[in-house]
Structure 1
Amino acid sequence: MNKLTPMMKQFMEIKENTKDALVFFRLGDFYELFFEDAEIASRVLDLVLTARSAGNDVKAPMCGVPHHAAKGYIQKLVANGYKVAIVEQVEDPKDVKGIVKREVIEIVTPGTYFEMDDNETREIASLSLDLIYATIVSCDVMSGEIKALRIMNEPAEIIKNLQQFQVREIIVPDNFDEFLVEEIQDKTKIYVSRFNEKDNSIKHDDQSIEDAYARLIAYLNATQKSSLQHLSEIKVLNDEAYLRMDYTSMMNLELIDHQKNKELSVYNFMDKTNTSMGSRLLKEKLMRPLYNISEIKERHTQIDLLMHDFILSDDLKTDLKETYDIHRIVARITTDKHNPQDFVRLKNTLRVFSSIKMKVNNLEEFKFLTQVDELVHVYDTLENAFLDNAPVTFKDGRTFKEGISPELDELITISNEGKTWLLNYEQQEREKTGIKNLKVGYTRAFGYYIDISKGQVENVKDEYNYIRKQTLTNSERYINEELQEYEVKISEAKERIQKLELDLFKEYTQFVVAHAQEIHEVGNAIAYLDVLMSLTEFSGQPGYVKPEIVNEPVLNIKEGRHPVLESSLKDHQYIASSVEMDPKRRTLILTGPNMGGKSTYMRMLAVNTILAQMGCYIPCDAAKIGIVDQIFTRMGASDDILMGQSTFMVEMLESQTALSRASQQSLILFDEIGRGTSTYDGMALAQSIIEYINETIACRTIFSTHYHELVSLEDMYDEIFNVNVLVHEEDKKVTFLYRVEEGRATKSYGINVAKLAHLPNAVIQRAEENLKMLELNRENKSTSIGSKILTVEVEPKEFQSLKQHLNKIDPNNMTPFEALQTLANLKEILGDNHDKQD
């Protein structure tokens, strides 16, 4: 270390304290990276790797990026899962002898970087574990929202929730569960940061929440190194406040992402927002639909009003297009990443918000807007201070309006009158010397000068007090005392202008930071209005109707259609189908060939239920939908976050989730359960799962299967009915009709599908011969699935969960406090479930 050059020694000291970050070390107009950081950056950013002397004949690998273009490079590094420590000079080189002091002013991390040019949500989360529960406290640094969620301490459950909340980075202490860390790193792209410190000022009634929350805030303070006053109070999520879906169900239903084309996701299809804030909020509303009927009906009323008042809708849409992302702006201001134009955009948005409030002031449906303070005093303060064309960076007094600072006004006048002064001085010198082509000019390197052509040099007299400074091919350049004095005056004026403007900039920054929470409320109101406008436009499409939302366990959709597929199908018109479910008809066994539309039918049902509970109109002729508290799906052999498990194991794990958590108000959609094992094993499991759901959970269920023997369950249970996708067969040619009707499928049509896939004729013919032999054998052997089970003996669900957690406990390694806490948690599990049953 002692053999390093002073600058390199300074770099190494900073690197020692930011080991897991790439150090962007400011040297002049560049950020430089050294040693391993440089090698990583050169590879990721495609930069040329050079070398610099580090002392004692050692060369340090080096690469760099221009400071004015650093944003794009940082964005790429963060997108590739790296942290970046920004190191700046914190002293004026003119005031320092020797090396200038440098410090880390910010550590950019995957979970805190919000300068991406998109509408994606990026959350950072802190985890806290006990023997039974995991507590997740997550923060969206841009919106300032902090929320807490308590779930079961199971790796799959934790990973699914992290994925669902779009967490990009998690914070854990050094002694955290290594197995869980490895699972998260193996199965996700979430960045794991080790951090032990906690903010002692953070208090919460729940100790687990307090631990995770305190670590999160301490980490944000350590990395952002600036004010975090825009962060909201922590909100503990109430599971019963919205329709719950896990990450797997969201993927199966293609709500946010689509495996083949992002454009085909439900979110992308219904996103008709006009603002980035609205677009992000719409995604949240889609992932967490409403559960309270009165809230759904209130949204219906709002949409109806906007749908029928065309003038109001058009006016509001125009206003929304003139607003800016003030959530991002406030986050930039509070974290000191802003520029003068951010203040202009903020005050313009506040002006538009006042206009919006005036338009809806007398409408009860828009109290979410009218009850929000429009912050007139904030608008007036910024309007009186900032020029509308204020630059992104300070440029010679073009940021603030006249009257803000008398001294600044005077200095700007001096600076602005410089051109006039120079013209007058040039004319004065021409008259004094008699040299008509004399010119007064300026260069940054040379300063102000008097330029005289070669032919007129002999007319320069000593009495003019010109001092020759530079000889050019065609002229000589001179300076004099008067020009030097003027140059000093102008230079001092510019420096003073910059100082005054910077002081004013800090003053208005502090002013806005003091109102950060109120400004966020304005942003929330604008975002929700934008969501309503988007839902209105979505609901106003031809063939969309308002569903009737009730508390009964019914699900009736007449001629329902999938909104995305209806608009994207090009080969043929979308074929609508109906569904009818109620307490006496709660389990539907869906049969029919592959490619016939079974999965599409189930997705249509689930997506329209979700849209209905968002308050939207849905594509159908009529709908009556009973409130759903949870949706569980198992569709296809999806390669999800449980990768590494066999398809059958994934099926069983996802089935277990549904069977252990579903209530009578839930909706279960199972596609081809049991196909991952032998035929008889799979059929036996499929039957027992259907019977368990029908007899024990008693919720609305659609079970798609190729086990045609299961259709006999309709004769055994009053609540089970058969439906099938229609197929037209003529002259051994099959046409899929993509429509679901009552009754059971008589054939699987697998060989017909093989023909459509153009398998070799020899294979098809041999398959037909094999099928005839199998059917003959089947006719000679009983294949009935057994008599109706009169009593289904099932261990209560809460005791299943209890056993799982008891198996994890080692009493010999528990402190008395841990034992008491675990006992309280186990009682809570039992209490929650008994309360629901009561």
Structure 2
Amino acid sequence: MRGGPGRRRAERGTRPCGGKVPVLTDSLSTPMMKQYHRLKAVHPDALLFFRLGDFYEMFFEDAEVGARELDITLTSRTTGGGRRVPMCGVPHHSAEGYIARLVEKGYKVAVCEQVEDPRKAKGLVRREVVRVVTPGTVLDPTSLPEKGNNYIACVALDPKTGSLGLAWLDYSTGEFRAEDFSGEAGRARFAAEFSCLEPAEVVAQPAVGEDPEVSGIVAASLRTPLRTYREQAFRPAEAARTLLEHFGTASLEPYGLAGRPLATAAAGALIAYLRDCQVGSLGHIRTLRTDTGGRTMALDAATRRNLELVEPLRSGGPEAGATPGGASGPRRRRATLLGVLDHTVTAAGGRTLRSWVLHPLTELDPIRSRQEAVARLVERELVREELRTELRRVHDLERLVARAEAGSAGARDLLALAESLRAVPALRAGLEGPEGAGASAALLMELARRLDPVPELVALIERALDDDPPAGLKDGGLIRPG
């Protein structure tokens, strides 16, 4: 191995980015260096992990940054002209951990793979960047808070009116929302909503950096540097086209975006940015929600802190090393309202409850609907315990689907999907009630109707995959014999 785990951490307040694109002189003009230069030029703001055999290599300034931040050995290689080029590398089988550490410090990492078999290649092996990992597009489960979200947010600003648009998305689950804010009251709501998100990454319209109030709100809640994105993507017409193309629809009205150009601008620019990063793997982002009627209460940071909703008052701020989205130590978490209420047994349930605590309902009908559902489950202790037993079989389906869509799911992920789906019939029966359809609360019946066990998919996975497959797709032994 070329280096061990690093201990050095990036200083807060720095602006990490990829190394500069090297100047390609005659002494560096080997075929491989030309290939590297072409790929690095497309991703100048990212650290390029360049696949060479069993290693991902970094060169030039990227190598110097990577060696420093990962605490691995900086070496060099001699080019055709005799010039020595700085380089460092990490083994491909442990690369995800190194990528996660760089991303946690605010870097973008472009992962370049060999896209043809070296044994069949005629000359230089063809390579392409297959994904770009940023703090807001992490999919590695070990780098994500189990019951918290990992949001990437996008801010649009009309400098003439001061109105704002905000879109936020959890790439690991597919949750996608957008709002707009106008006037002084709107800015106060924007500040409350933004601080509540605790985004891992923020991209913004260039004008945001020129507004001291808005940039101050963003900076106060941001762990990594603000990324300014291209102006054209924020133009309402361009953003609307991006969203229509993504959702495959003729109108944005069903998404609550009609007549809301700034919310549209933020949402469309965010999808455009993700396309740039993830090479089109956005199929799990299937819908977008807006709070058109003010159905939830906006709680500012001081209110959330004083009420100890998700963070204890004596904590003094986010815990050192805590992940975005509200993950914190279990002892501190128990000293909050969420800690008292949270008896969820699934990751998605924990994320939903956290969102409910931070966004209290303001309308009576949905409040009564929830109360009725809870009362029905309280009355039926046996049914409730059976539901909890079945839910313990359910893995984090939202993140499983996201990894599958991104092409990073393994055979064990697919078996976890099948195991989760096998619990659906019992869950549906429990929600409907022992007396059958119509005997349960309306909200529980609606939840039951949404559940689809997809038996044909479960049967396909069971027929195709071995019961105990290896972790890696290239390790063999995935397919059931016969």
Same fold by TM (over 0.5)?
yes
1:145 aligned onto 2:216: no
Q: Secondary structure at the match of 2:119?
A: helix
> Contact (CA 8 Å) 1:23, 1:37: kept in 2 or not?
yes
1:161 aligned onto 2:193: yes
Equivalent position to 1:70, from 90, 95, 99: 95
Closer, same or farther in 2 for the Cα pair 1:14/1:106, shift >3 Å? same
Residue by residue over 1:496-545, the C-alpha shift from the partner in whole angstroms, topping out at 9 and shown as x without a partner, is xxxxxxxxxxxxxxxxxxxxxxxxxxxxxxxxxxxxxxxxxxxxxxxxxx
Q: One-letter code of the match for 1:125?
A: A
Tell me how far apart the structure 2 counterparts of residues 396 and 86 of structure 1 sit (CA, whole Å).
Answer: 20
After TM superposition, the structure 1 = structure 2 runs for residues 14-413 of structure 1, keeping only pairs within 5 Å, are 14-115=39-140, 116-119=143-146, 120-130=148-158, 131-152=161-182, 158-174=190-206, 176-180=208-212, 183=216, 186-187=219-220, 188-196=222-230, 198=233, 200-203=241-244, 204=252, 205=258, 206-238=260-292, 240-258=294-312, 259-260=314-315, 261-361=332-432, 362=436, 363-365=439-441, 366-372=444-450, 373-394=452-473, 398-401=477-480, 409=482
After TM superposition, the structure 1 = structure 2 runs for residues 550-589 of structure 1, keeping only pairs within 5 Å, are none
Q: Secondary structure at the match of 2:27?
A: coil
Q: Secondary structure at the match of 1:136?
A: strand
After TM superposition, the structure 1 = structure 2 runs for residues 758-797 of structure 1, keeping only pairs within 5 Å, are none
Q: One-letter code of the match for 2:204?
A: V
Shift of 1:101: 1.7
Shift of 1:212: 2.0
Residue by residue over 1:356-394, the C-alpha shift from the partner in whole angstroms, topping out at 9 and shown as x without a partner, is 112333242221332113323333333333333233224
Tell me how far apart the structure 2 counterparts of residues 288 and 226 of structure 1 sit (CA, whole Å).
Answer: 32
Q: Secondary structure at the match of 1:44?
A: helix
After TM superposition, the structure 1 = structure 2 runs for residues 323-722 of structure 1, keeping only pairs within 5 Å, are 323-361=394-432, 362=436, 363-365=439-441, 366-372=444-450, 373-394=452-473, 398-401=477-480, 409=482
Tell me how far apart the structure 2 counterparts of residues 145 and 21 of structure 1 sit (CA, whole Å).
Answer: 26
Give the structure 2 partner of residue 746 of structure 1.
Answer: none
Shift of 1:352: 0.6
Q: One-letter code of the match for 1:290?
A: L
Closer, same or farther in 2 for the Cα pair 1:265/1:87, shift >3 Å? same
Aligned residues: 403
> Contact (CA 8 Å) 1:134, 1:153: kept in 2 or not?
no
Give the unaligned 5+ runs of structure 1: 403-408, 410-838
Structure 2 length as normaliser, TM-score? 0.77
Q: One-letter code of the match for 1:250?
A: R
> Contact (CA 8 Å) 1:78, 1:84: kept in 2 or not?
yes
Larger radius of gyration: 1
Tell me how far apart the structure 2 counterparts of residues 152 and 190 of structure 1 sit (CA, whole Å).
Answer: 26
Tell me how far apart the structure 2 counterparts of residues 171 and 101 of structure 1 sit (CA, whole Å).
Answer: 32
Closer, same or farther in 2 for the Cα pair 1:224/1:80, shift >3 Å? same
Shift of 1:305: 2.7
The share of aligned pairs that are identical, in percent, is: 32
> Contact (CA 8 Å) 2:153, 2:167: kept in 1 or not?
yes
> Contact (CA 8 Å) 1:184, 1:190: kept in 2 or not?
no
> Contact (CA 8 Å) 1:34, 1:60: kept in 2 or not?
yes
Q: Secondary structure at the match of 2:274?
A: helix
Shift of 1:338: 0.8
Residue by residue over 1:775-822, the C-alpha shift from the partner in whole angstroms, topping out at 9 and shown as x without a partner, is xxxxxxxxxxxxxxxxxxxxxxxxxxxxxxxxxxxxxxxxxxxxxxxx
Shift of 1:190: 4.2
Shift of 1:173: 4.0
Tell me how far apart the structure 1 counterparts of residues 409 and 153 of structure 2 sit (CA, whole Å).
Answer: 25
Q: One-letter code of the match for 2:67?
A: S
> Contact (CA 8 Å) 2:346, 2:394: kept in 1 or not?
yes
Tell me how far apart the structure 2 counterparts of residues 308 and 316 of structure 1 sit (CA, whole Å).
Answer: 14
Residue by residue over 1:732-770, the C-alpha shift from the partner in whole angstroms, topping out at 9 and shown as x without a partner, is xxxxxxxxxxxxxxxxxxxxxxxxxxxxxxxxxxxxxxx
Q: Secondary structure at the match of 1:235?
A: coil
> Contact (CA 8 Å) 2:311, 2:336: kept in 1 or not?
yes
Shift of 1:201: 4.0
Residue by residue over 1:385-432, the C-alpha shift from the partner in whole angstroms, topping out at 9 and shown as x without a partner, is 333323322478633345xxxxxx4xxxxxxxxxxxxxxxxxxxxxxx
Tell me how far apart the structure 2 counterparts of residues 185 and 388 of structure 1 sit (CA, whole Å).
Answer: 47
> Contact (CA 8 Å) 1:152, 1:158: kept in 2 or not?
no
Q: One-letter code of the match for 2:471?
A: V
Tell me how far apart the structure 2 counterparts of residues 141 and 329 of structure 1 sit (CA, whole Å).
Answer: 12
> Contact (CA 8 Å) 1:185, 1:191: kept in 2 or not?
no
Tell me how far apart the structure 2 counterparts of residues 40 and 239 of structure 1 sit (CA, whole Å).
Answer: 48
Residue by residue over 1:550-592, the C-alpha shift from the partner in whole angstroms, topping out at 9 and shown as x without a partner, is xxxxxxxxxxxxxxxxxxxxxxxxxxxxxxxxxxxxxxxxxxx
Q: One-letter code of the match for 1:183?
A: G
> Contact (CA 8 Å) 1:111, 1:122: kept in 2 or not?
yes
Residue by residue over 1:463-490, the C-alpha shift from the partner in whole angstroms, topping out at 9 and shown as x without a partner, is xxxxxxxxxxxxxxxxxxxxxxxxxxxx
Shift of 1:247: 2.6
> Contact (CA 8 Å) 2:193, 2:299: kept in 1 or not?
no
Shift of 1:184: 5.5
Closer, same or farther in 2 for the Cα pair 1:153/1:232, shift >3 Å? farther
Residue by residue over 1:266-294, the C-alpha shift from the partner in whole angstroms, topping out at 9 and shown as x without a partner, is 22332221111111111101111222223
Shift of 1:175: 5.5
> Contact (CA 8 Å) 2:157, 2:207: kept in 1 or not?
no
Closer, same or farther in 2 for the Cα pair 1:247/1:185, shift >3 Å? closer
Q: Secondary structure at the match of 2:176?
A: strand
Q: One-letter code of the match for 1:368?
A: E
Task: Out of 307-316 and 54-63, give the one that drifted further.
Answer: 54-63
C-alpha RMSD over aligned residues = 2.4
> Contact (CA 8 Å) 1:344, 1:387: kept in 2 or not?
no
Closer, same or farther in 2 for the Cα pair 1:296/1:157, shift >3 Å? closer
Shift of 1:176: 4.8
Tell me how far apart the structure 2 counterparts of residues 111 and 117 of structure 1 sit (CA, whole Å).
Answer: 10
Shift of 1:16: 1.7
Shift of 1:164: 1.1
Tell me how far apart the structure 1 counterparts of residues 196 and 229 of structure 2 sit (CA, whole Å).
Answer: 23
Of structures 1 and 2, the one with the larger relative CO (CA 8 A, separation 6+) is 2
Tell me how far apart the structure 2 counterparts of residues 151 and 173 of structure 1 sit (CA, whole Å).
Answer: 15
Shift of 1:89: 0.8
Q: One-letter code of the match for 1:81?
A: G
Give the unaligned 5+ runs of structure 2: 1-23, 234-238, 245-251, 253-257, 316-331
Q: Secondary structure at the match of 1:48?
A: coil
